[in-house]
């Protein structure tokens, strides 16, 4: 899928691991250009700009499980943002 392939290889590998473990999660944001990042309210230094961050949307339980697994996979950012889990490497 195009969103997945926009991620850096390292981040893509970990996001694929999370999505295999919790297959109901949907990848809703990956690499963003500056304009897109600004439009969605992303931080100016967002790791989405370099393809190192991904957003995964699903049930609260699945999002929280994704955050816990991301931490075990040494994510540099792993946050449940309410309507998605934000994870980055
Ligand atoms: Zn994010």
Each domain of the chain, given as residue ranges in start order, spans 2-88
Residue 21 pLDDT exceeds 80: yes
Neighbours of ion ligand 1 (CB under 5 A): 53, 55, 86
Residue 79 has pLDDT above 90, yes or no: yes
Maximum distance among all Cα pairs of the chain, rounded to whole angstroms: 32
Could you tell me the distance, in angstroms and rounded to a whole number, from the CA of residue 20 to the centre of ligand 1? 19
Buried b / exposed e over 55-67, threshold 16 CB at 10 Å, is bbbbeeebbebbb
Multiple choice CATH, 2-88, 3.30.540.10, 3.30.1380.10, 1.10.10.10, 3.40.640.10: 3.30.1380.10
Quick one: pLDDT at residue 2? 85
- Tell me the pLDDT tens digit for each residue of 29-78: 999 999 999 999 999 999 999 999 999 999 999 999 999 999 999 999 99
Whole-number Å distance, alpha carbon 86 to ligand 1 midpoint, is 4
Distance 3 CA to ligand 1 centre (A): 13
């Amino acid at each position: 899928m195009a969103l997945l392939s926009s991620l850096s290889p390292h981040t893509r590998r970990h996001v694929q691991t999370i999505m295999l473990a919790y297959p109901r999660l949907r990848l809703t944001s990956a690499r963003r250009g500056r304009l897109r990042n600004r439009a969605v309210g992303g931080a100016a230094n967002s790791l989405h700009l370099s393809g190192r961050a991904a957003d995964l949307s699903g049930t609260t339980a699945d999002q929280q499980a994704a955050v816990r697994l991301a931490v075990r996979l040494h994510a540099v950012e792993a946050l449940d943002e309410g309507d998605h889990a934000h994870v980055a490497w």
